C-alpha cells in the first residue's frame, strides 16, 4: 500500500533500526559523521570542497572537536557555487583540518623549541612555509601584518591547545619572547603526525632543518617574499627581484628596516633551496 505523502514510518522503527539509519545517513552526507569510519566513507564520496564559515565556527571551542548540534549545522552557509551537501562535509573537514594544523604546529615546536631564535615570529613563518612548500593546503587565514603574513587567531589557538592537551608549556621569557617546553603528554601528537603526514615527512623535515639556525628576521623576510610571490602568481604579475623588493617595502612601513641586500640574499637562498611557489601552487 502506498504511503501517505509527507508522512514517515519513523514511529515503526526500533531503536536499533533508528541507530543504523542514522549511521547510513551520516555516511552518505545527510548528517555529520561522528567517528573515523563514517568520516572515511564520507570523504570517499564527497572529497574536499571548500566553503565559507561564520566566525563562531572558528572559535577554539568548536575547533577543539566539540560535537555540533542540529542548530549549528543549519547555520552553516555555503558558497553559491558549492553543492548543498558539501556544507555538511566541510563542517567536519574544518575540524579535521584544524587538528592536522595543530599536529603540524606541535612537530615544528618540538623540533625547534631548543633554538634560541624560536619564538612566535619564527614559529608562524616556519609553519606557513611548511604548509605552502609541502602543498598541504590547510586553509589558514593569513593576513598582512607588520611582521609578515600571520593568522593571529590560529597562533593563539595553538598555544591554548598545547596547554590544554599538556603537549607543551607555553611561557614568556623576561624579554617577552615565547618559549615552548615539551610537557608530560608531548609524545601524543607524534602518532597523529606520522599518520596525517606520512607522505610529506621528508619534505616537512627538510623545511624545518633549513630554518633551524636562521634568525627571526630572516624567516620574516622569506615568508613575506613567499607570500608576495604567491599573490603575483595568482594575479599573473611579473615576478623578479625588482618587483618583489618593491612590494616588500610597500607591505608595511616597518619593512624599511631591512637593507635591500638582505632581501636579495633571501631571494637567492629561496631559489637555491626550492622555497618558492610554483605557478600551479596557491
Residues sharing a CB contact under 8 Å with residue 145, sequence separation 6 or more, in sequence order: 152, 252
Indicate the domain borders of the chain: 18-73+81-96, 98-273
Q: pLDDT per residue over 172-222, tens digit each?
A: 877 768 899 999 999 999 999 999 999 999 999 999 999 999 999 999 999
Radius of gyration of the chain (CA): 22
| Least confident piece of the model among 81-85, 210-214, 269-273 | 81-85
As given in the structure block, the three cell numbers for residue 137 are: 593546503
| Least confident piece of the model among 82-96, 112-126, 238-252 | 82-96
**CA–CA separation, 12 and 65 (whole Å):** 34
**CA–CA separation, 267 and 209 (whole Å):** 18
- Is pLDDT of 24 > 70? no
Global pTM reads: 0.65
Give the pLDDT confidence score for residue 31 in this predicted structure: 56
Give the pLDDT confidence score for residue 45 in this predicted structure: 52
Rounded mean pLDDT of the chain? 77
Give the pLDDT confidence score for residue 66 in this predicted structure: 42
Return the sign of the alpha-carbon dihedral for residues 60, 66, 67, 71. negative
**φ, ψ for residue 172 (rounded to 5)?**
-110, 140
Q: pLDDT per residue over 215-224, tens digit each?
A: 999 999 999 9
**CA–CA separation, 63 and 94 (whole Å):** 8
Amino acid at each position: 500500500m502506498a504511503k501517505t505523502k509527507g508522512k514517515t514510518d519513523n514511529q515503526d522503527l526500533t531503536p536499533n533500526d533508528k541507530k543504523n539509519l542514522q549511521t547510513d545517513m551520516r555516511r552518505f552526507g545527510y548528517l555529520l559523521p561522528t567517528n573515523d569510519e563514517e568520516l572515511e566513507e564520507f570523504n570517499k564520496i564527497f572529497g574536499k570542497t571548500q566553503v565559507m564559515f561564520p566566525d563562531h565556527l572558528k572559535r577554539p571551542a568548536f575547533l577543539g572537536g566539540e560535537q555540533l548540534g542540529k542548530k549549528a549545522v543549519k547555520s552553516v552557509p555555503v558558497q553559491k557555487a558549492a553543492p548543498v551537501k558539501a556544507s555538511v562535509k566541510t563542517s567536519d573537514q574544518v575540524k579535521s583540518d584544524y587538528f592536522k594544523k595543530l599536529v603540524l604546529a606541535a612537530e615544528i615546536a618540538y623540533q625547534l623549541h631548543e633554538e634560541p631564535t624560536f619564538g612566535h615570529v619564527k614559529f608562524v613563518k616556519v609553519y606557513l612555509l611548511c604548509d605552502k612548500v609541502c602543498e598541504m593546503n590547510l586553509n589558514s587565514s593569513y593576513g598582512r601584518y607588520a611582521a609578515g603574513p600571520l593568522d593571529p587567531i590560529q597562533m593563539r589557538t595553538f598555544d591554548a591547545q598545547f596547554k590544554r592537551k599538556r603537549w607543551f608549556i607555553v611561557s614568556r621569557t623576561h624579554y617577552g619572547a615565547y618559549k615552548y617546553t615539551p610537557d608530560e603528554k608531548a609524545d601524543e601528537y607524534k602518532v597523529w603526525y606520522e599518520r596525517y603526514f606520512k607522505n610529506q615527512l621528508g619534505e616537512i623535515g627538510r623545511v624545518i632543518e633549513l630554518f633551524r639556525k636562521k634568525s627571526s628576521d630572516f624567516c620574516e623576510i622569506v615568508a613575506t617574499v613567499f607570500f608576495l610571490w604567491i599573490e603575483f602568481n595568482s594575479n599573473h604579475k611579473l615576478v623578479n627581484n625588482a618587483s618583489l623588493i618593491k612590494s616588500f617595502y610597500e607591505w608595511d612601513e616597518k619593512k624599511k628596516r631591512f637593507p635591500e641586500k638582505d632581501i636579495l640574499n633571501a631571494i637567492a637562498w629561496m631559489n637555491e633551496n626550492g622555497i618558492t611557489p610554483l605557478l600551479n601552487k596557491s
